[in-house]
Structure 1
Amino acid sequence: MSASPLILEDFGQYTGLVPLAVIDGERLEAEKLATFDKGYTAGWDDATDAYKAEADGAERALAARMEELGFTFHEARAHVMSALRPLLSGIVETIVPRVLQETLGHRLEQAMHQLADGQPDPEVLINVCPDDAEQMANCLSAHARFPTRIEADDSLGPGLIHIRLGQSAREIDLSIVEATLNDALAALDTLNEETLSHG
């Protein structure tokens, strides 16, 4: 049996050794520190960017939710006010005129006192529309402390009262209060309709 010859590597082709670079400890430490700082800064920047993105997303979600809630609130308010419109109309059309009539005597008494101040033997002339003359007589029978005379005046509208004492005069217009309430109710109704139609 023949053995195969052992072939060894020839190191003769290498002519010289390459010198190893010597790294001093300070330079190595500085490079480690610079690498650490670079990694730390990159990590901090990533965390800051992630936090900003999360905060921006949460802020946008909150703004969208608040906008939804705002529309929901305004729509709910408009629906409630629309549902209350018949009640408010009933109050303006029924209760307000009655309250105005019930408090008319007190208002007339105040107006007559202001006019009669300093007048000797005052007689008060009250002009009203013909439809209000009977109601005025009933009202004055309970409140008048002066001699009064009621005259129907076709030129006056319902709720308009002229009070005269000598050269002094006052006017009470009950329809202004009712008209103001009706205008306010109409404006509220218009606002509610716009809110419902536009959201």
Structure 2
Amino acid sequence: MTIAHLLEDFEINLMDPSRVRLMDEDTLEEYRLTAFEQGYSAGWDDAVSARSEEQGQLNATLARNLEDLSFTYHEALSQMTQSLEPMFKSLIGTVLPQTMDRSYTHHIVEQLKSMAREQVAQPALLIVPSGVSATLKPILSEEFSFPVQLVEESSLPAGQACLRVGTAERDVDCSALLSSISDAMDSFLHQAKEVS
């Protein structure tokens, strides 16, 4: 006796009438179109998904590069500012005061000329800090044909002067300008250090 009846039969009989099902041309074409549409749709979805993923990666890479570039710019600006700080301090502490001292008399002469044009034939009074009149007297006598009364005031700080021609009066304050420039530079350096 054989055990064939216990084992499953894997042999397929294609010609068995219960297995064979014939399709007409319309049904077969409809089946093909449905299969094509499903394949096309799946391919389209895969392409859109791949494109979205690629776009996301490009955006992430661009964002990282911009962040690196921004960091590099701020880092470079900070380093440049810190390296220039001694030069700025030297400029404000040494060069600008010397320049103001040299231009002090020139500035006073220009202001007096301007006021004299506006107030013709009026008496002129110039009040300056102590120790400045010796430098100013030769310049005033050379520049002006009318007399300028020069008065030294010990309470007047260096870099300042008071000009009066007739009823007009002007104050010259080079030290306030220097202080303003120094404050602006300190503020800039402080802000540059805060950013870094």
TM-score by length of 2: 0.80
Within the alignment, does 1:179 sit opposite 2:193 as a pair?
Answer: no
Residue 161 (structure 2) aligns with: 161
Residue 102 (structure 2) aligns with: 102
Structure 2, unpaired ranges of 5+: 1-16
Q: Using the TM superposition, give the Cα deviation of residue 66 of structure 1 relative to its aligned residue in structure 2, in angstroms.
A: 1.3
In the alignment, the residues of structure 2 paired with residue 93 and residue 143 of structure 1 have an alpha-carbon distance, to the nearest angstrom, of 31
Q: Using the TM superposition, give the Cα deviation of residue 65 of structure 1 relative to its aligned residue in structure 2, in angstroms.
A: 2.1
Q: CA RMSD in A?
A: 2.4
Partner deviation per Cα, 1:163-182 (whole Å, 9 max, x = no partner): 01122111111012211210
Cα 1:118/1:67, change in 2 over 3 Å = closer
| Greater alpha carbon shift after TM alignment, 176-185 vs 105-114 | 105-114
Cα 1:135/1:160, change in 2 over 3 Å = same
Q: Using the TM superposition, give the Cα deviation of residue 187 of structure 1 relative to its aligned residue in structure 2, in angstroms.
A: 0.9
Q: Using the TM superposition, give the Cα deviation of residue 85 of structure 1 relative to its aligned residue in structure 2, in angstroms.
A: 0.9
In the alignment, the residues of structure 2 paired with residue 91 and residue 174 of structure 1 have an alpha-carbon distance, to the nearest angstrom, of 16
In the alignment, the residues of structure 1 paired with residue 141 and residue 45 of structure 2 have an alpha-carbon distance, to the nearest angstrom, of 90
Task: Tell whether the 8 Å contact from 1:161 to 1:171 is kept in structure 2 after alignment.
Answer: yes
SS in 2 for 1:122: coil
Within the alignment, does 1:150 sit opposite 2:172 as a pair?
Answer: no
Task: Tell whether the 8 Å contact from 1:78 to 1:192 is kept in structure 2 after alignment.
Answer: yes
Q: Using the TM superposition, give the Cα deviation of residue 20 of structure 1 relative to its aligned residue in structure 2, in angstroms.
A: 4.9
Q: Using the TM superposition, give the Cα deviation of residue 120 of structure 1 relative to its aligned residue in structure 2, in angstroms.
A: 4.8
Within the alignment, does 1:30 sit opposite 2:30 as a pair?
Answer: yes
Q: Using the TM superposition, give the Cα deviation of residue 76 of structure 1 relative to its aligned residue in structure 2, in angstroms.
A: 1.5
The AA in structure 2 aligned to 1:88 is: F
In the alignment, the residues of structure 2 paired with residue 90 and residue 104 of structure 1 have an alpha-carbon distance, to the nearest angstrom, of 20
Q: Using the TM superposition, give the Cα deviation of residue 106 of structure 1 relative to its aligned residue in structure 2, in angstroms.
A: 3.7
Within the alignment, does 1:89 sit opposite 2:86 as a pair?
Answer: no
In the alignment, the residues of structure 2 paired with residue 25 and residue 41 of structure 1 have an alpha-carbon distance, to the nearest angstrom, of 24
Give the alignment of 1:47-58 within 5 angstroms.
47-58=47-58
Residue 128 (structure 1) aligns with: 128
TM-score by length of 1: 0.78
Structure 1, unpaired ranges of 5+: 1-16
Q: Matched residues, percent identical?
A: 27
Cα 1:135/1:43, change in 2 over 3 Å = farther
Runs of 4+ residues deviating >2 angstroms? 17-22, 97-110, 117-123, 131-146
In the alignment, the residues of structure 1 paired with residue 105 and residue 146 of structure 2 have an alpha-carbon distance, to the nearest angstrom, of 13
